[in-house]
Amino acid sequence: MTQPAYVIDQMISAKQIAARVEELAEEISRSFQSTEKLVVVGLLRGSFVFIADLVREIDLPVEVDFLEASSYGDSTRSSREVRILKDLSGQIEGRDVLVVEDIVDTGFTLSHVLQLLLARNPARLEVCALLDKPSRREVEIKATWTGFEIPDEFVVGYGIDYAQRNRNLPFIGKVRFT
């Protein structure tokens, strides 16, 4: 598939991300300190780098699981329709669960995933999102912890893609079409 030409302008450096991840992990560790074993659920695929860094800074016993909801396809517009492509491997009933998401944009994905998980009766369900674009919100929803609030820009890097590319960038950059 041909794609329009674009360049990537750095928005958040690897160093800034690492510092923020450390802070988030500290707050999360404090908040779940009485939890016997936290279930950290990464939403695939965009959160895979973030969750890897985050769990290594969390000072608690954790279990890691993944869930994949359908995303944008290869466009930069949200499709509104959310489908579960890969469900959790484990049970979450009665467990303390932390959902880890890359970006909360319109909020459709997260609200759908939270509804699904709530129906399984976890003891506690919280969300940590690396990025938040509040100006794009269409469903009223807010993550318990947010790494960075960003303006309405399409971003890539640190696990986040544009048409499956640029996930391996160590920083977060905005896509600028040329």
Closest CA to 54 of 121, 9, 120, 99: 99
DSSP letters, 56-80, are HH--S-EEEEEEEE---TTSSS--S
Interface with Mg ion: number of residues (CB under 5 A): 1
Smallest gap from residue 103 Cβ to ligand IMP (A): 4
Catalytic residue among 105, 132, 152, 161: 105
Selected from 6, 48, 72, 171, the binder of ligand IMP by CB under 6 A is: 72
Between 60 and 110, name the residue whose CB sits nearer to ligand IMP.
Answer: 110
Residue 102 CB partners (closer than 8 Å, separation 6+) = 43, 46, 47, 50, 129, 130, 131, 159, 160
Only one of the segments 4-12, 21-29, 49-57, 99-107 lies at the binding site for ligand IMP (rule: CB under 6 A); that segment is 99-107
Q: Which bin fits 152, alpha (ψ -120 to 50), beta or left (φ > 0)?
A: beta
Position among 21, 25, 46, 147 found at the interface with Mg ion (CB under 5 A): 46
Nearer to ligand IMP, 92 or 110 (CB): 110
Q: Is 105 a catalytic residue?
A: yes
Enumerate the active-site residues: 105
